[in-house]
Structure 1
Amino acid sequence: MFITTKIADLVQIAPEDFSKESFVAIEDNINAKYANKVGNNIFEQAHETTHLTAVFVEFEMVVFRPFKHEVILARITHQTEEGIYLGMDFFNDIFVPAAELPDNSEL
């Protein structure tokens, strides 16, 4: 259910973060970019701003990634036509797209 993955990325530091300790500014930007993101689109979030400082970083991240057909204990918090939202002890906003639900599921 959890995996560890290595990430190498170019982190952009905005001028308003220059007053922070460098490791704090880098950590804040990594968290803003990766925390609470779902799917593969987390790498497509680029900022088109000038006057940024870019820092190449490598880090490890723990990722919540259930395997396909893995059974997890959760409660349905709400649903839409697009899918269902699940809550667990450690996450409250897990989204499961309708296309990923088992066959014969109804929304």
Structure 2
Amino acid sequence: MFVLTEMKDTVRIPPWLFHIKFNDAVIEALNKKLANKVVHNVGLCIALWDITKLEDSYIFPGDGASHTVVHFRYVVFRPFMDEILTGKTKSCSKEGVHVSIGIFDDILIPADAMPHPSRFDDKEQLWAWEYETDDGKHDLFMDIGEEIRFRVVDEVFVDTTPTGPDGTANQSSEIKDTETKKTPYTIVKISNISAILGVSSMILS
């Protein structure tokens, strides 16, 4: 679930932070920049692990801050493929079931990955697994807040870097609206659900 990723970045330390230890200033700057942010094709950054190398610092003309290339290792949330995680149902829609594991909410179990047979109940706004027993068929609803286990089989990174306007005000406004709806990192295509509503059979998503 968590990986240690080697990274490199240029850290700018403003003059008003020169009075504190340099390493402490670098740590503060890196965590401020990266903590709880998604780095494209890397994952969700959690916290700085350690600094492995500090290159020479430079002060450029017209800027009193120091600029230092820093090599470091960062703790990143990025589940392995086929890893089984435990979360809670956050919401349901016709698109599928949205799951949260506390530190990360953008997890989707699509409709075609539900246990078969399942259906979306428009009245309850919940997915229901039509579970067969000796007594007949029973609807097992995937209630909000219910604990659920799932297997990760895919992930999607979206580059949310802002793009420049292409000419007209309306078009640039539409682009801006579209960009604000992008999710930079989503765990998707889970291959079926396990331990739904206390059912002990192993049907993994």
> Are 1:74 and 2:161 counterparts?
no
Q: CA deviation at 1:54?
A: 0.6
What is the correspondence of 1:39-50 to structure 2 with a 5 Å cutoff? 39-40=39-40, 50=63
Q: Aligned Cα RMSD in Å?
A: 3.3
Q: CA deviation at 1:59?
A: 1.2
* Corresponding position of 1:25: 25
* Corresponding position of 2:100: 86
Deviations 1:18-68 (A, max 9, x none): 2211111011001111211124199xxxxxxx4321111111122221024
* Corresponding position of 2:189: 102
Q: CA deviation at 1:4?
A: 1.5
Greater relative contact order structure (CA < 8 Å, 6+ sep) = 1
The answer to whether the 8 A contact 2:87-2:99 is kept is no
Q: 1:85 to 1:12 in 2, by over 3 A?
A: farther
> What amino acid does structure 1 have at the position aligned with 2:15?
P
- Which structure: greater strand fraction? 2
Find the residue that maps to 1:74 and give its secondary structure.
Answer: strand
Find the residue that maps to 1:19 and give its secondary structure.
Answer: coil
Q: 1:23 to 1:39 in 2, by over 3 A?
A: closer
The 1-side partners of 2:16 and 2:98 are apart by 38
Find the residue that maps to 2:38 and give its secondary structure.
Answer: coil
- Which structure: greater helix fraction? 1
Q: How many residues align?
A: 93
Find the residue that maps to 1:72 and give its secondary structure.
Answer: strand
Task: Decide which structure has the larger Cα Rg and report it.
Answer: 2
* Corresponding position of 1:64: 77
> Are 1:51 and 2:138 counterparts?
no
The answer to whether the 8 A contact 2:5-2:73 is kept is yes
Q: Using structure 1 for the length normalisation, give the TM-score.
A: 0.63
Find the residue that maps to 2:6 and give its secondary structure.
Answer: strand
Q: Using structure 2 for the length normalisation, give the TM-score.
A: 0.37
Q: 1:51 to 1:66 in 2, by over 3 A?
A: same
The 1-side partners of 2:107 and 2:88 are apart by 15
Find the residue that maps to 1:93 and give its secondary structure.
Answer: coil
Q: Which runs of 5+ in 1 are unaligned?
A: 43-49
Q: CA deviation at 1:69?
A: 4.3
The 2-side partners of 1:27 and 1:72 are apart by 30
